[in-house]
């Protein structure tokens, strides 16, 4: 599979990636290579990765605890301390080997350490292959508030190797599928229809097309001043729902994709009410979402708390919540204000 050229770095696939990585390490003469993993990727992905790393340079493995709950500054401090104790310097390289938590946090850690050292992303979940590891966003959560602290920083390269998908659960695969659905709805209707019809889709084709789309968007708007906001479709309410479940002790956490899938149903409903997005499309999105994800019932008594979390969305300006809504498939409108009553109605529509 051909590599994709992103803003200042390549996205390589399978063996090509490992060949390019060994070449990069030799050329840049890194002092030490730090591989950031969690307990799952240490057990299941590291043994697959390490035979591919051809280098004489010293290698150190740093393990953090898995899960969104650990994507915070405290974990970063632990990693910065570990890198320091292990003799990290400005010529060190960080390789992130994991899902979205590892690639987001690892990129952030590398970008801040001694004002920035190189990093390479090796995503091991579908979500991080098709979204988190590409596009230059790095960062961590602040409490339950998603990705509030972070910066734009590009890796030296991204290596996408589908063999790691064998190490993750079906639920994880479905989590990443929500981002592919988002690309389809907002940017490539053919992709959405293919997912809807589920015609023996090859995962490699879905991954490749998703990265192509994300890259096309990011190349035009790397710092999210306009177009890139379409990648937030479903995420405004979706993030609030995800955060709400994270902070609710008596509720099981939702995966990012499960929350975003609900967010897409609700935001397509708002689009219908505010922008004449066809009702048939809203029903189609809801049907596709419910064909993939287990139905969650959002409790009426939780609506207020979910809506309160919206005020932390990163697209907000002057305290106003800004949604990305749709005029039609592949046709978006940025910075839409939505009345609280319609947000509630959209959640009731999802529940119905």
The least distance separating ligand GLY from the CB of residue 131, rounded to whole angstroms, comes to 5
The answer to whether 30 and 118 are in contact (CB under 8 A) is yes
Of 133 and 346, nearer to ligand GLY (C-beta) is 133
Of 200 and 225, nearer to ligand GLY (C-beta) is 225
**What DSSP string runs through 227-265?**
GGGGGGTTHHHHHHHHHHHHH-TTSPPPPHHHHHHHHHH
Q: State yes or no: residue 209 binds ligand GLY (CB under 6 A).
A: no
Binding-site member from 38, 104, 118, 131 for ligand GLY (CB under 6 A): 131
Q: State yes or no: residue 298 binds ligand GLY (CB under 6 A).
A: no
Tell me if residue 7 falls in helix, strand or coil.
Answer: coil
Q: What is the CA radius of gyration of the chain?
A: 20
Q: State yes or no: residue 79 binds ligand GLY (CB under 6 A).
A: no
According to DSSP, residue 299 is labeled P
Q: State yes or no: residue 239 binds ligand GLY (CB under 6 A).
A: no
Look-up of token digits 């910066």? 151
Of 221 and 284, nearer to ligand GLY (C-beta) is 221
- Find, among 80, 78, 74, 68, the residue nearest to 104 by Cα: 68
The least distance separating ligand GLY from the CB of residue 232, rounded to whole angstroms, comes to 6
Q: Find residue 313's DSSP bridge partners.
A: none
Q: State yes or no: residue 228 binds ligand GLY (CB under 6 A).
A: yes
CA dist., res. 79 & res. 64, Å (int): 8
For 350, residues 6+ apart whose C-beta sits below 8 A from its C-beta are 262, 265, 266, 269, 286, 298
The answer to whether 143 and 246 are in contact (CB under 8 A) is no
The answer to whether 5 and 27 are in contact (CB under 8 A) is no
Tell me if residue 70 falls in helix, strand or coil.
Answer: helix
The least distance separating ligand GLY from the CB of residue 216, rounded to whole angstroms, comes to 12
The 312-351 contact track toward ligand GLY, x by CB under 6 A, reads: ----------------------------------------
Site size for ligand GLY (CB under 6 A): 5
The answer to whether 120 and 155 are in contact (CB under 8 A) is yes
Q: State yes or no: residue 17 binds ligand GLY (CB under 6 A).
A: no
CA dist., res. 1 & res. 205, Å (int): 10
Binding-site member from 137, 209, 239, 256 for ligand GLY (CB under 6 A): 137
The answer to whether 14 and 1 are in contact (CB under 8 A) is yes
The least distance separating ligand GLY from the CB of residue 118, rounded to whole angstroms, comes to 20
The least distance separating ligand GLY from the CB of residue 228, rounded to whole angstroms, comes to 5
Binding-site member from 105, 165, 178, 231 for ligand GLY (CB under 6 A): 231
Q: State yes or no: residue 99 binds ligand GLY (CB under 6 A).
A: no
The least distance separating ligand GLY from the CB of residue 27, rounded to whole angstroms, comes to 28
Of 35 and 266, nearer to ligand GLY (C-beta) is 266
Binding-site member from 135, 150, 176, 184 for ligand GLY (CB under 6 A): 135
Q: For binding to ligand GLY (CB under 6 A), which residues are involved?
A: 131, 135, 137, 228, 231
């Amino acid at each position: 599979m051909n590599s994709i050229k992103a803003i200042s770095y390549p996205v390589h696939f399978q063996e090509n990636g490992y060949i390019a990585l060994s070449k990069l390490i030799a050329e840049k003469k890194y002092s030490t290579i730090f591989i950031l993993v969690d307990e799952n990727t240490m057990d299941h992905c590291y043994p697959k990765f390490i035979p591919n790393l051809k280098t004489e340079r010293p290698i150190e493995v740093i393990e953090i605890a898995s899960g969104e709950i650990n994507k915070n500054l405290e974990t970063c401090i632990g990693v910065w301390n570990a890198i320091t104790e292990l003799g990290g310097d400005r010529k060190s390289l960080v390789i992130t080997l994991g899902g979205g938590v590892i690639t987001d946090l690892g990129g952030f850690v590398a970008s801040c350490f001694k004002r920035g050292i190189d990093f390479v992303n090796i995503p091991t979940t579908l979500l991080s292959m098709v979204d988190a590891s590409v596009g230059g966003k790095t960062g961590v959560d602040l409490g339950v508030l998603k990705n509030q602290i972070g910066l734009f920083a590009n890796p030296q390269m991204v290596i996408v190797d589908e063999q790691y998908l064998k190490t993750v659960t079906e639920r994880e695969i479905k989590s990443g599928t929500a981002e592919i659905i988002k690309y389809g709805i907002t940017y490539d209707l053919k992709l959405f229809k293919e997912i809807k019809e589920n015609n023996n889709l090859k995962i490699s084709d879905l991954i490749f097309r998703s990265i192509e789309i994300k890259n096309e968007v990011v190349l035009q708007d790397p710092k999210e001043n306009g177009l890139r906001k379409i990648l937030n479709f479903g995420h405004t309410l979706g993030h609030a729902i995800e955060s709400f479940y994270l902070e609710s002790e008596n509720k099981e956490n939702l995966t990012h994709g499960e929350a975003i899938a609900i967010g897409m149903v609700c935001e397509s409903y708002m689009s219908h009410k505010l922008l004449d997005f066809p009702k048939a499309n809203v029903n189609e999105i809801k049907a596709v979402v419910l064909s993939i994800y287990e139905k969650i019932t959002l409790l009426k008594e939780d609506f207020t708390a979910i809506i309160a979390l919206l005020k932390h969305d990163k697209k907000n300006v002057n305290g106003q919540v800004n949604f990305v809504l749709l005029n039609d498939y592949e046709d978006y409108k940025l910075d839409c204000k939505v009345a609280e009553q319609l947000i509630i109605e959209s959640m009731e529509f999802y529940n119905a």
